A and B are shown apart, each in its own frame.
Chain A
Amino acid sequence: MSVPDLFDLRKRFDNEKILLCFNGPISRSLIEEIGNALRNYMKSEQASPADALDVFAVYIELTQNIRHYALASKLLGADTATVVVSYRDGHYHVSAGNIVRQEDGQRLMDQVVMLAALDKVGLKKIYKEQLRKPRDVGATSGAGLGLIDIARKASAPVVPTLQLLDNGTSYFSLSVQI
């Protein structure tokens, strides 16, 4: 029987300064519990309240985006999220990824690249415009503000990745430096 090499995994977490990692089907309650752990951790590390709130906010928007996508797309396995929070070079980093349809992945890539080209003033303008748009009738969530809000909280352009998989799907991820 092969057993997972946990020590090796732990060494990798340590080397990459990973504070928190999750991989699996994400639920509403898991998002809350992991978020709670993240907040407690940041409090114990005496992160500034502003840093703690920004990290938490980006974590929530990323994971809730995945939940909303999984529910709306009905794509099998889309609710399996990979979430990593790390602290290196003086910054917190929040990353999350999941499987998406190829065309959705491309659309997200384009949107993130478009946002990355904007400065703080441009981001605020587009945020306010989106805030003013009437939301889709029947939508219970997804104000379309999440990606813009993430870009506004980032201290460097958000880094997207898109890896082609089989069956018309891709693995999409976002890495955000706070």
Chain B
Amino acid sequence: MIMLTKNKVDRSQLMAVLWEIQRKKRHIAHDDITKIAKEFDLSRMEVEGVLTFYHFFHRSDCGKYTIYLNNSIISKHNGMGSIQAAFEKEIGVPLGNLSFDKMFGLYETACIGLSDQEPACLINFQPFTNLTPEKVKTIISKLRNGEKPSDFCDKPKSNIQYTPAIDRTVFFKPYKDFSSLAFLKSNKPEDLIELIKKSKLAGRGGAFFPTGLKWQFARQNKADIKYLICNADEGEPGTFKDRVLLQEHPETLIEGMILAAYAVGASEGIVYLRGEYRYLKAAIEKVIASYKKYNFLGNNIAAKEPFNFDIHVHLGAGAYICGEETALIHSIEGKRGEPSTKVVFPVERGYKDKPTVVNNVETLCAVPHILEMGVDKWLSLGTEKTPGTKLLSVSGDCKNKGIYEIEWGMNFREFLKIIGAENPKMIQWSGPSGNALSEADFDRTISGEDLICGGSVMVFDETRDIPTILKHFSDFFVDESCGICVPCRTGNFLLNRKINKMISGVANRKDMIDIKEWSHIIKTTSRCGLGQMSSNSLNDAIEKFPKVFEKFMADESACKKSFSLEKATADYDRIINEITSDYE
């Protein structure tokens, strides 16, 4: 249990305390909430509000071994069904339940960042990849024999499939620890900001906000303390590039953070690591410790303007919306991960109301490389608007799943060839909140000028049913909407019903018009990016695959096909049958 000193309640400890209780007791009970509320001087319900926001916190027992099966569309296409059945058979209860001996809890969760090695699951947050029914059987019997998941879990493969020629590679090449930090000795923070501005580095999480500008704003805002947060809440389904960076080159992230902290004047750094990547936490902390040992972290770090900076890791607990920077900040503060209205930006008032910079893992990792190779060399790579290289996570129906480091400016068709996509029908670009691409887009180029991408590339071939894929994305948004604003909360739910109508084959022309109009309403009135982007792929797909949707273009019939009298009276028949049957 984390020790809490009396009279000094720091709410940012709340998530860590909840994790600790969840880990030890396998759920957070009524009495625990009362104690936490007392300790943190909050009302009980406020604590309950926080913990029910995150789906890895349970109010009831979730088993000695908690199994989270990934339910992403990629996982389903790779045979999640048979894996689920195997687990259910082994532990004896259906998905979403605790086994009778309270040994296993089987739950589903959204994409866990292992799309290139599906089906996959987390057991007590240790990864198990490329599952087969046989493997499931072995895993369960090992666990029953008392083996610890951490002793025999898989080490997720990095699957780095492609890098440009060695002199044009940025991220995945040998890197000598500490080499970028020499820069600190001879340069002022402003120099670094200027250099990053010159490099045109922009937020690699998908928003592409200029990094140098963000740093400059934060630097200009005077405050007694500033914060630097690394957004490692890689939640967009289909993306896993940050996981690979954290596995392969955590040192570049730490160096990037040290450099960024120097530039903005931040003295506290936080890595917001998504709960799904808990297995990476120890390794990251080890790297932090080694940097501390060499005095690159801690007090009085050697630089032209010596500074204090330290980093710790904050663990998320399952909420996609926490990838949004203001929601992420709320989450670290121990609150519900609801995004703020954009009245003030974090660079002015962020974490604990102090200037805060939130950068993606890939963005921060790029910084030491830019210093190492020199900004001119960096600018010679890629395109005018987007210099350098980009990491793409490729999954789905293609031969070579994994990570691709490509130079911006690559032709899309060439890219499809490299990844071994034989009959691509739909490419989901930049994740479910991105765009659906069809044949018509294959001659475009991957660049800031044309097709920009946050990192997720999901390939679907001819055999896949597009409405089912869209339904899946929609389910994801309905689950992950924070619920605070009306259009996103209810609008996505209503769109989901329209997709249901398509899948059950009863949708008509009116439904297709509604989808378009309602999407526009949701897009223009939602509070944050989630609602603004959630209907993109649905509308893209309808526009780009007219053949798939033409069967829904007939006029509305006089009797609604969506209403089934049989279904509506099924409950009644069942009840009457049960009540009238004589059990003796």
A and B part of one assembly? no
